[in-house]
Amino acid sequence: MSPRTLVLQEAACGLCRRPDSDPDAYGQKCRRGKLCVHENCLYHASGLRQRGQDEEGFYGFLYPDIRQALKRAAQKACCVCGCRGASVVCQGKKCSRSFHFPCGAERGCISQFFGEFKSFCWKHRPAQRVRRRRRRAETVCVVCLEAMPGRASYSALVCPACKRAWFHRSCIQGLALRAALYHFRCPRCRDVGAFQPEMFRMGIKIPDRDAAWEEEGAFSDQYHRHSRCDASRCLHEGGREQAAEAGNAPGALAASTGTGAGKSCGPRSFPATGPLRSRSPARARG
């Protein structure tokens, strides 16, 4: 076995056996030595309990418990791909189907991200009920604005409040991950009270944090002020450094635009005027 193969095996999730690292689909990849598991696989592994504090193990799942879950999963075959390691069990009545978390998502299974973190196969998954008179042959996703079927299904969801906002599962999941719990609401009617519980029920993961655009440092580059004019040709009388010290003078750096060019050195659609050295239009640096 080549060293490259060994590296791939070590990087693969011990539960789903996949090396993928897409946080939107799998959650964060957790590693400790040779132990490697996806966050979403971890939360939905049957029989695995959080017995530690949040800072212990992986999200409160202790390492010995995770290893035991890996041993149990190794005895079960996935009902989707047929491979061993199926750690997710359908909670439907008298259903014995087991599957890998990503295999289940690809087959139309639903795994919920609240309460007991239950999972359901394609036969027992929860479904939305829409009155026949509100169904349409085709409608438009309010997130991506592309055409989609106007009837509820695994991949097509509708707002329970206004019943007029339709969206692809992948589109509304992407919005939920960005907006998170504090800002996630129906893109059309802005409802939260009925919308969030229904999305939780239908298997949409809504992180318990502030929105991505509100996180600390998300726009720090917009507030950075350059110490000197970095235009390809500085037009300020005193040079590049004095352009930065000029404050609100004509040669002050255009901090509000996030560039390092002075206001008089930035892009213009008219000839530069005032105490400048050239009458030709100022050019932005390439």
| This prediction's pTM | 0.71
Q: Which residues of the chain have pLDDT under 70?
A: 1-10, 132-137, 216-228, 230-232, 236, 240-286
- Residue 263 has a pLDDT of 54
Task: Return left, alpha or beta for 274; rule: phi > 0 is left, psi -120 to 50 is alpha, else beta.
Answer: left
CA nearest 117: which of 58, 50, 57? 50
CA nearest 154: which of 124, 192, 188, 134? 124
Question: If you ran DSSP here, which 8-state letter would residue 282 be given?
Answer: P
> Which tens digit of pLDDT belongs to each residue from 205-231?
999 999 998 876 666 666 566 666 766
- Residue 119 has a pLDDT of 97
Residue type, 194: A
- Residue 249 has a pLDDT of 45
Give the C-alpha separation, 242 to 252, whole Å. 8
**What burial class does residue 216 get, using C-beta atoms within 10 Å of its C-beta: 0-12 exposed, 13-18 middle, 19+ buried?**
exposed
Give the C-alpha separation, 155 to 241, whole Å. 57
- Residue 235 has a pLDDT of 73
- Residue 131 has a pLDDT of 76
Give the C-alpha separation, 197 to 193, whole Å. 7
Q: Does residue 174 contact residue 218 with C-beta atoms inside 8 Å?
A: no
- Residue 216 has a pLDDT of 64
- Residue 270 has a pLDDT of 39
- Residue 214 has a pLDDT of 84
- Residue 252 has a pLDDT of 47
